[in-house]
Amino acid sequence: MLGAIIGDIVGSIYEPKDHRIKTKDFPLFSENCRFTDDSVCTTAVADTLLHDLPPAETMRKWGRRYPNCGFSQIFKEWIASEADAPNCTFRNGAAMRVSPAGFLNRDDLNAALLDAEKVTVISHDHPEGVKGAQATTHAIWLAYRGENAAYIREVITTQYDYDLTQTVDEIRSDYAFDMTCQGTVPPAVTCALESENYEDAVRNAISLGGDSDTLGAIAGAIAEALHGIPEAIKAEAENRFLLPKAPDIVALIREMYRTVDN
């Protein structure tokens, strides 16, 4: 979960069209970085699964608590609505927020995938949206089980029919901004699987020049499971970007990690 949130924070300043980059050479954190809707939605998923809360009601609660953190207009309308009608179809928001499903169900893949579906269909009910969420969850689950990158790539390719044959360099050469699960999840998975460590995975994701906060969140979540997160990066993210503005998010993060550690 924290891996997704840090990836979101790092990628936040490179998402606007005139700030997208095609290089891994950039400051990991900068003054204008911030947490976005990706972090808020990830927190809502964690709250839902930790406390067995209604997914839609909990997502709306957190969304209304942080209304100005970058939600798309279509998701703002869903947050404001009281109707249980999904409206975001197969956008990549289905995958960027789902990491707690893999984190909290490390011993039960079926439970992880069911939880991923449960927290996704409330707003993203297209089969490609559910697939993106479950593929991300499955990759995280396999990484926590200690599987290597080659095996994870084989499983995700076979079970979700994603093309993971390109390298990060090959993807970067002609990658463009894409808000769909189909155009976001496969490259983000590749960025994590090709990485040497957590930071390298996030740099891979940002360097594609796309929807950088979401690419960073997905790749960061998988990379956390693969590599862990250096303590210095954790501390800077929490102390500089989360605690001053969102102590409730930090409290929930810490509760989730205590739950798993115990």
Which CATH number covers residue 224?
Answer: 1.10.4080.10
For the chain, the domain total comes to 1
Q: Specify the pLDDT at position 32.
A: 95
* Mean pLDDT for the stretch of residues 85-97: 89
d(CA 49, CA 132): 19
How far from 232 is each of 188, 191, 240, 252, CA to CA, in Å? 23, 22, 12, 20
Domain span at residue 128 reads 2-261
- Burial-class residue 260 by CB neighbours within 10 Å (0-12, 13-18, 19+): exposed
Distance (Å, whole) CA 122 – CA 154 = 29
Residue 195: DSSP 8-state: -
Taking a C-beta distance cutoff of 8 angstroms, is the pair 176, 185 a contact?
no
Q: Which pair of tokens denotes residue 139? A: 């990759």
Cα-trace Rg, the chain = 16
First to last CA, the chain: 17
pTM of the model: 0.97
Specify the pLDDT at position 128: 97
Please check the confidence at residue 229 and state whether its pLDDT lies above 90: yes
Q: 44-88: per-residue pLDDT in tens?
A: 999 999 999 999 999 999 999 999 999 999 899 999 988 777 777
Residue 261, pLDDT above cutoff 90: no
Quick one: pLDDT at residue 23? Answer: 98
Residues 124 and 94: beta-carbon distance below 8 Å: yes
Q: What is the pLDDT of residue 156?
A: 98
User: What does the angle CA 1 – CA 29 – CA 147 come to, to the nearest 5 degrees?
Assistant: 35
- What pLDDT does residue 86 have? 76
Quick check: 184 pLDDT over 80? yes
